[in-house]
Structure 1
Amino acid sequence: MRKRSIFSNVRLALSGLALFVAVNVHAQTSGQLRGTIMDSKGTSIPGATIQLIDANGKTVTQVSTDQKGMFVLAGLDAAGQYRIKVSMVGYVPYETAATAIKSGESNSMLIRLEEQSSALDEVVVVGYGEQKRGDLTTAVSSLPNVSDQVNRPVSNLEGMMQGNVAGVTVISSGGNPGAGPRVMIRGMGTLNGESPLYVVDGMPNYGGPINPNDIETVDILKDAAAAAIYGAQASSGVIVITTKSGKSGAPKLNADVYRGWQTASNLPSALNAEQYAQAYNTAARTDGVPLSAGHDAAQNPWGQVTRTNWMDEIFQTGTILNANVQLSGGGEKSRYSSSFGYHDSKGSLLNTDYKRFTYRLKSDFDFFDRVTVGQNFYVTHTTARGANTSDSYSGTIINAIYMNPAAPVYDQNGNFHGTVPPELAGFSGTYGDTYNPVALLLRPTVRNPSLSLNGNVFANVNIFDGLTFKSNFALSLVRSSSKRFEPRVPEIGRANLNNYLYHEESQGDRWIWDQQLNYTKSFGEHNLDVVAVYSAQKMRDEGYSVRGVGFEREDPWYQYIGNAASVPTLPGSSVSEESLTSAIARVNYNYANRYYIGASIRKDRSSRLPVENRSDVFPSISGAWKISSEPFFDKTVVNDLKLRASWGQIGNMQSIPRYAYNIPLSTGTSTPLGSDFGLVRHFSVNKQYNPNIIWERSQSFDIGVDMTVLNKLTLAADYYEKKTIGMVFTNDPDPHVGFESGPTTNIGDIMNKGVEATIRYNDTFGDWRIAAQANIGVNDNKVLHLDDYSNAFIQHGDNVRNALVPYRTAPGQRLYSYYLIPSDGIFQSQEEVAAHGVQPRARPGDLRFVDTNGDGRISDEDRVYMGSAIPRFTYGFSLNVDYKNFDLSVLTYGVSGVKIFNGYKFTAYNAGSNGYNLDSRVLNAWTPQNTNTDIPLLSRQDPNNNFGTASDWYLENGDYFRIKNVTLGYNLRNLFGKLQTRVYFSAENPFTFTSYSGIDPEVGSTGLDMANYPLPKTYTLGLNLNF
């Protein structure tokens, strides 16, 4: 028994020793982490979620803080590195850098979380100052997620805004690389000068394009009360841009580069050579006219063989390269930011491209305690080569339909081939006077560099507490050159043996000097902000142009105007100047952050108007009630709630041409005089003038609501009415006077009414972060009044080959309304033609037009208004999702209530049009055996005038929904030490959903489509580095 007892004790002792050794070994290879979570005031936060993340991004463990805000993470491997993620509803999530756990020790930390501010606490930039969004009494929107937008393959700010901002309509100018979209804020209010004012770092910007990567924030001033402080320049809204600035601290380097590929899609196809001949033979038999010998297989077998798909020949896979580098930092009393950008885009059409170089230097310095001086210097150099696709004669894409598919691109000598080879020139008339579309793109020499230098210097003096003075001087210099050399066109088709060079030079100089006083003070619960500004600016533009013809050689080194055989018209030149002075005042007051009122007044004096009408005053007033700041308001669910209303007036200086009020003496007129009839230049009056012209004025009323729910969901909604009073328009000349142009006058009033709303949602679920936004804008545009003197209506000049003029603007209608003859399908039998009775030359297969006025015939008197080219509805949705190191963003955009006039069909579906080849869809044209179609019968003579009638047969629904962008990124944190790396893939315009039969419903013009250059699908791979 004793031996057994001794043995048991020894075994117990050995076991205890082993356990002691094991515990010590584990204690030396593991550790624990303790911590406390507090808010910014030092109050502990119970219930916060603590996640321990290893080097592979996996969650090792998760705990919550106790009632004292404390947590403990034990048993951690000392060999590894960990990150700590802390999250709590109502606070900004926090994440530590990777940290090693000290072996055998208890590691401790203190983490302070910042309260998650409401969207109404966001600071926005307004005219000559800043305000919290919660203090705004006017309609101001901001572009969300700017840092994500710049990674998209868009070359301009406007492309970033499309689909992201309610009430802002962005219409693409098409696929030409570098082409700037058209922007309308709250509808179309005028026919002249309908573009917003851009303000960059506090000063109006009239220089070159802005590199999107330089942008920090974008705020859009939408109503008159918000924009009134910019007066005569702001009738179409204001886009306020703040560029990236440096911050005190160690230098930071950011580099971003992406490479991409661009392709066109949904392109039309032409008939092949055999189908081409058959279609025209069918059309000839329909009319009982002789068949063309060129389409006779026996006489012209060459014309029956397809050698070229012209659409494939003119399109390519384009490329895009974008690179940006920014260095920023600062010391205790200085800050700087310097950036360089390069953008190179080669379009999906041959020989179209755009290059942009940008450099920006921005800095400021503190002198003494009350003086800050700074500067912002920005230079841009661009070159662009686009393609003409909107012309129904020489448009590149439509000529790829017209051109004979039997013809090759080049002849056996490497020269461009015509419609037929020289030995078959007798058949040239069969195929029409068309261009070789590849030659259209490759033959001309185009050079159009533009250099823009912009800069401003400022001094800010803090006079005493609350009162500051700022003097800001800006200078803008723009130099542009354009040279286009058109060589001879010797090939059969549309031959032209005269070459020419057109050379144009222009320069624009502008300076702006603002003197600004700001007074901001709080007296108990009374808060006051006052701004007073005096602004002066002057502009001078010069231009020169000359056209020379008859160049003996066509080598690049010979393409200079001095080598021209003649200059048929004398060179043209112009100089114009303009000045604007303004006195501005604004007052914002609120009591206890509950009751707000704001008012501004601006007096502008512009040299564009006659002396007695040059000055005018533009006032605004606004107010708001922040209900959520009332003591009785329960913030448990609704955290912020504010109602606001505003009214204001703004002038439109841009709608008035310079010198419209003065007798326009011109030296550009030349008259052949003398025995040799030599051209003699002399003074002449070629335009009627108007000494009584006054300001075009925009007046708007807005009511809105801003709300935040559970600190996650925000809503901003507005109803507005914007009235243009005294719209300026240049009339047609009086035929009895003999002038080239009529007077510029105030002809009428326009009303835009609408509703817009934006909803945002932000939340965090463990490793997931979600941000979603939806916006919608509804706009109703109407002409209230025209002067009835010479403008009972406005006949817009947009047309198809001078044959189809689809637009008319009249009182009670929308701007750019379609004014067309209604159609009612296709006649299926001669009995239907006879029963209709008003189209005596119609046959089965022809379009049936509606005799709307009942006079027994079809004429222009039967036209009716049928919708507009301006959208009624625009909407967008964006989603941003982050999960651990991954991020995904999706942006969509759509428009509704818009019509498109598909003028492409006028020639591409028309067998009576000069013999051109046709769109392959005419294979579905009406025949007695194919009656279920909307394409009329093929006819060489078209006696019913199916194609020459401006009817709604051309009018199509232009609604569309587009997936604008999908971007997937992955973040590599702390790579090689402090290097933060992100790689991403982006798809721009990958999917479009529409019923429109053309290439792209975003046609790049005011609703008229002639097979315009389509937006490409763009796919990019990118890398972002931060150090």
Structure 2
Amino acid sequence: MNGKFINISYIFIAVLLLFTSTKTHGQEKEDSIVHVAFGTVASEDLLGTVSTVNVKELLKKDYHTNILESTVGSVGGMTTNGNIWGQGPMVLVDGIPRSQYDLRPSEVESITVLKGANAAVLYGSRGAKGVILITTKRGEIKPLTIDVRANTGMYVPKSYPTYLNAAEYMTLYNEACRNDGLAERYDASTIYNTAAGTNPYKYPNIDFFTSDYLKKAYNKTDVTAEISGGNERARYYTNFGVSYNNSLMNFGEQKKNKDLNYNIRANVDMNLTNWLKASTNALVVIKDNYTGRGDFWGASSTLRPNWFAPLIPIDMLDPNNNKLQSYVENSNHLIDGKYLLGGTSANLTNAFSDMLAAGYIKNKNRAFQFDVNVTADLGMLLKGLSFKTLFGVDYTDFYSEAYKVDYAVYEPRWSNMNGKDVIYDLVKYNEDKVSTSEFVGSTSYSQTMTFSAQFDYRHTFNRSHNVSAILLGWGYQTQKSNDSDHEGSDYHRESNVNLGLQASYNYDRKYYLDFSGAVVHSAKLPKGNRAAFSPTISAGWRISNESFFKEKVPFVNNLKLTTSYGKLNQDIDIDGYYLYQGYFQTANWYTWRDGASGGSTVKSVRGTNMGLGFIQREEFRIGLEAGLFNNAIVLDMNYFRQDTKGLLTTGQNTVYPSYFNAGRFNLLSYTNFENDRRTGLDFSLKLNKKIGELYASFGFSGMLFSTKALRRDEMREYAYQNRAGRPIDSSWGLICEGFFENDADIANHATQTYGAVKPGDLKYKDVNEDGLIDSKDEVYLGHNNWSTPPFSYGVNLTLKWKNFTFFALGSGVSGAIGYKNSSYYWIKGSSKYSDVVWGRWTKETAATATFPRLTTTDGSNNYRQSTFWQYKNNRFDLTKVQLTYDLPEKLFDKIFLNDMSVYISGENLLVLSKERKMMERSVGSTPQNRFFNIGFTTSF
């Protein structure tokens, strides 16, 4: 680990010297206005923990489809899974809680990431884990302009799992039988004929990952048209988009798998009078998905290659057997006029038959979003005073139209007639049924209503004293339903409501002070505890504006220190309503009034705690902003310490005496008891340089991050198993000491309690030295990465030369661990065998074995979380490479086009890791893909 950091340091120093060794070129001017909570701020006046990405400009060199991909390599503290400082943020689109998945990057103007408590506090409880603000494009004062973008590309699978073929599987399964003292299951003749491919219907050898079922690649195409323009009275913007993709499947009904999506966004900004403005926004999203039935990918990881033949050829049926011919004549599913569907008594349905005969599902998603904004300049009452309000309604709907039929499968009985394999009988399972109509499958909907109103005051006194303030109210409510009869509806709507206050002052953009707070409300808490105040205070000092600094350090054009403290109250981590209320249930294990009906006793299920309160995020932060050599080098970094206090627990170990939980009578209640700590250093570095006609820009961002469980409700026998004092994403398991070599080794070792063991099984360390291997021997093994890795980073590189632009993006993580515990590695009983079993333990391979002995049991001793299956999750992903060419402007002098750019790109191209093969392999699901794209943009 240390060596890797040293290497990264050398690379960083080399790049830094490159960008400062000769005459520098100032950074391209960044946006002077940044969208923040309920307003905008000049970028130079930000008090830290706010990062912004100009998506509109980024798309000129980086075409992407994932909205949050824009933040990779440019926003420190935000990881590729969308977490901010290790926690999942709230996403707002144009100030309203909305899903980023209803957006395409071409609709987006900018993304602002609010990381610190001081930046997010105005959003109340729901903003307590950070906020992502997505601002969509709007019209401008200009003539009518039409911009068009089109892309088409191919998804190419990176890899497929490697499983043993049927003959190999049977050979090694026989070995597993011998290991367990059982008779071999498969005879030599069957294995030989299977390996020779004598008759693939009698001796099946199923390989899922062939051209019989899959294409080599599949296509995605999208087209977008943007129409914008306007004048001082009204500006308009409209975005029309359509995208289509098919799939890898090349078999049965799943050949038709596809997605077809439409997006229409429109907005209008109007100056109604010289003091009153209004705007409206509307979005319609239509998503249609067609999927043939059958879990092909799931079956690919479980169905053994020799189990049965998916198809039964009718030309191999005994022609003199009227029963068999009747099956053919009456079958509703005679595939290509040649095959019946195969199956067994244990496989009455299967993925192949489902794909061929069971039908399809049409999934339909619809979304409608509308909001209206009004802004009034109240300068006639008080100079600098304004008022604005917003009201939005979002509605999403999902339903499926399905077609499903039952079908029969057949299991053949073989004989040999005159040296030829013939099916002399078929065992039929199920019946063919007919359906001529679709039906509505599942349905769900959600509706969100949002409202905000605020007074803003901004004024500058004597050219140096800049004052601003906000007083606001904001709230939203979401109602969800999960089926057509509403039985699955939420019994309580998700809601957030809060008041907010912000007061800011800066003197000559040199000294800054800000107080922001929110009064939050939660219906999840008992009366009397439902309201709380969340305060934050921030300060900043731009040292570079001090005269003594300017004279002595002229190459530093910006240097600002910021700090903040906040205490946010939140109910996000209170997972449910009425948890403060105890309740009782009927106890049928004992009744009153013997011999009479009813009269059952009641039992306590949970106790009452009317003192249940908010969970708090208490945060201290200090930050640094710097710009050197005319902003050729720009640095932004923050150290933060964040304590989450009062996480809920039932307190059965330390808070309440044990008799409060007497099995059938539980008086334990939820209480605010557990505490966590998150500490980190986030950073972003931008380097810019121009050498002749070559312009280069390099970005490096990331975060060093650690967590600790400060307090836990636990009373453990051994201190080394305490969760308190360990990372909150701690991973626990056994220490593996290798394989048992022989019976003597087993006899001389501590007794393992996970089932009988034999030579070739894993042996574990007796940590507590009690002579038994059990859960008491589990120890801390490392970070399991469910939250955020100890070190995460992103890099981006832009090179411009004449009309060419090259862009590359990458991201990496290190410091966490994982376990090889999928079905690909944990091969239990008669599970499908992957290529890892070639390293199995035998007496002959004991010295070089990399896998336990094969067994027909569930392997309960071997397949446990331990150091044997552990690996380091360090990796670097080359996420994106794009080359863009801007056609010379002179080509468009005499035609209707204004400009045009063409580009080629690749995504998810490369993984650098010791465990690359495993990381690029998907088991039981669709494969990971590389995406190769060509596209163009033009305007007229």
Which of 514, 523, 527 lines up with 2:452 in the alignment?
514
Which of 560, 565, 590 lines up with 1:642 in the alignment?
560
* Residue identity in the other structure for 1:250: P
Aligned twin of 1:175: none
Aligned twin of 1:134: 44
**1:328/1:336 contact within 8 Å kept:** yes
**1:403/1:437 contact within 8 Å kept:** no
1:822 paired with 2:735, answer: yes
Shift of 1:717: 1.1
1:964 paired with 2:882, answer: no
Q: Deviations over 1:939-996 (max 9, x none)?
A: 22477x4434333333322221110000111111334334211111110001112223
1:185 paired with 2:84, answer: yes
The 5 Å alignment of 1:48-127 reads 117=29, 122-127=32-37
**DSSP-derived class of the 2:312 partner:** coil
**2:481/2:488 contact within 8 Å kept:** no
The 5 Å alignment of 1:457-476 reads 457-464=372-379, 465-476=383-394
Which of 480, 490, 507 lines up with 1:591 in the alignment?
507
Aligned twin of 1:786: 712
1:481 paired with 2:399, answer: yes
Q: Which moved more, 1:297-306 or 1:700-709?
A: 297-306
Q: Aligned equivalents of 2:777 and 2:431: distance in 1?
A: 45
Q: Aligned equivalents of 1:650 and 1:1013: distance in 2?
A: 41
Which of 246, 268, 272 lines up with 1:367 in the alignment?
272
**1:809/1:815 contact within 8 Å kept:** no
Q: Aligned equivalents of 1:599 and 1:756: distance in 2?
A: 23
Aligned twin of 2:208: 310
* Residue identity in the other structure for 2:749: H
1:411 paired with 2:312, answer: yes
Shift of 1:661: 4.1
Q: Which moved more, 1:656-665 or 1:354-363?
A: 656-665
Q: Deviations over 1:592-617 (max 9, x none)?
A: 21111111111022333322121111
Consecutive unaligned residues in structure 2, runs of 5 or more: 1-22, 315-332, 412-427, 586-601, 654-659
| Change beyond 3 A, Cα 1:273–1:299 | closer
Q: Aligned equivalents of 1:957 and 1:729: distance in 2?
A: 32
TM-score of the aligned structures, taking structure 1 as reference length: 0.73
Which of 938, 943, 947 lines up with 2:854 in the alignment?
938
**DSSP-derived class of the 1:374 partner:** strand
Q: Which moved more, 1:692-701 or 1:302-311?
A: 302-311
| Change beyond 3 A, Cα 1:497–1:590 | farther
Shift of 1:148: 3.2
**DSSP-derived class of the 1:280 partner:** helix
| Change beyond 3 A, Cα 1:769–1:305 | farther
**DSSP-derived class of the 1:291 partner:** coil
| Change beyond 3 A, Cα 1:698–1:383 | farther
The 5 Å alignment of 1:103-502 reads 117=29, 122-143=32-53, 146-149=56-59, 154-171=64-81, 183-188=82-87, 195-205=88-98, 209-293=102-186, 297=190, 307-312=205-210, 315-316=214-215, 317-348=217-248, 351=254, 353-384=258-289, 396-397=297-298, 399-400=300-301, 402-405=303-306, 407-412=308-313, 435-436=350-351, 439=354, 443=358, 445-464=360-379, 465-482=383-400, 488=406, 490-491=408-409
**DSSP-derived class of the 2:179 partner:** helix
Q: Deviations over 1:856-903 (max 9, x none)?
A: 122122111212322211111100111111111000111112222322
Aligned residues: 828
Shift of 1:262: 0.8
Which of 914, 925, 928 lines up with 2:840 in the alignment?
925
1:532 paired with 2:505, answer: no
Q: Aligned equivalents of 1:689 and 1:816: distance in 2?
A: 30
Q: Aligned equivalents of 1:649 and 1:865: distance in 2?
A: 31
**DSSP-derived class of the 1:228 partner:** helix
Shift of 1:657: 4.4
**DSSP-derived class of the 1:810 partner:** coil
**DSSP-derived class of the 1:231 partner:** helix
Q: Aligned equivalents of 1:659 and 1:839: distance in 2?
A: 44
Shift of 1:275: 0.5
Q: Aligned equivalents of 1:476 and 1:347: distance in 2?
A: 31
**1:792/1:810 contact within 8 Å kept:** no
**DSSP-derived class of the 2:311 partner:** coil
**DSSP-derived class of the 1:1019 partner:** strand
1:954 paired with 2:892, answer: no
**2:469/2:503 contact within 8 Å kept:** yes
**DSSP-derived class of the 1:612 partner:** coil
| Change beyond 3 A, Cα 1:997–1:881 | closer
Consecutive unaligned residues in structure 1, runs of 5 or more: 1-87, 93-115, 172-182, 189-194, 547-569, 668-682, 794-807, 1004-1008
**1:143/1:161 contact within 8 Å kept:** yes
TM-score of the aligned structures, taking structure 2 as reference length: 0.79
State the structure with more CA Rg.
1
The 5 Å alignment of 1:609-1008 reads 609-634=525-550, 636-657=554-575, 659-661=577-579, 691-711=610-630, 712-728=632-648, 745-788=671-714, 810-830=723-743, 832-839=745-752, 841-870=756-785, 871-905=789-823, 910=827, 912-913=828-829, 915-930=830-845, 931-941=847-857, 945-974=860-889, 975-977=891-893, 978-996=897-915, 999-1000=918-919
**1:599/1:620 contact within 8 Å kept:** yes
**DSSP-derived class of the 1:702 partner:** strand
* Residue identity in the other structure for 1:540: Q
**DSSP-derived class of the 1:448 partner:** strand
The 5 Å alignment of 1:561-580 reads 575-580=491-496
Q: Aligned equivalents of 1:959 and 1:154: distance in 2?
A: 25
Q: Which moved more, 1:497-506 or 1:612-621?
A: 497-506
**2:280/2:370 contact within 8 Å kept:** yes
**DSSP-derived class of the 2:776 partner:** helix
**DSSP-derived class of the 2:159 partner:** coil
Q: Aligned equivalents of 1:591 and 1:998: distance in 2?
A: 57
**2:813/2:874 contact within 8 Å kept:** yes
Shift of 1:151: 7.2
Shift of 1:650: 2.4
| Change beyond 3 A, Cα 1:254–1:348 | same
Shift of 1:186: 0.3
**1:224/1:700 contact within 8 Å kept:** yes
Q: Aligned equivalents of 1:349 and 1:719: distance in 2?
A: 49
Shift of 1:738: 6.9
Q: Aligned equivalents of 2:341 and 2:144: distance in 1?
A: 69
Shift of 1:372: 1.2
Q: Aligned equivalents of 1:786 and 1:652: distance in 2?
A: 20
* Residue identity in the other structure for 2:44: G
Shift of 1:792: 11
**2:55/2:109 contact within 8 Å kept:** no
Shift of 1:381: 2.3
Q: Aligned equivalents of 1:861 and 1:344: distance in 2?
A: 54
